[in-house]
Structure 1
Amino acid sequence: MNTRYEIRVHGLIGPLLRSRFHGMTCEALPRQSTIRGKLSVDELHRLLDRLDQSGVELVYLDSRS
């Protein structure tokens, strides 16, 4: 089952990293970026791992069924 997530990170996400978020919407906010989309739990873990490996700091994570 896929759940809709909103993930906020510190700073701006560059085009190369954004290109790896297939089917997700990325939006730049002042000093933050927001990533939104539907993911399975496994996909969420892979995305969070990618962000961590890229040195991106997680600010907020919310889920909605």
Structure 2
Amino acid sequence: MPTALAKQRKIAIVGSRSVGKSSLAVRYVDGHFVESYYPTIENTFSKEIRVKGQEYATEIVDTA
């Protein structure tokens, strides 16, 4: 759960089919790369990060 001081940010990953949008999102959030292909309609991932001392609660939308 984001802290009260964390700024909220939404990020959309867009691109052509089969280019690795889902793999990119999973790599960023979970730290591992998915090489297999499973068609995605839409997934949402969350990750809290700190940049230059500022906390951010990010919501990453992986589009079709």
- TM-score scaled to structure 1, two decimals? 0.28
- The structure having more radius of gyration, on CA atoms, is 2
* TM score, norm. by length of structure 2: 0.28
RCO (CA 8 Å, sep 6+): is it higher in 1 or 2?
Answer: 1
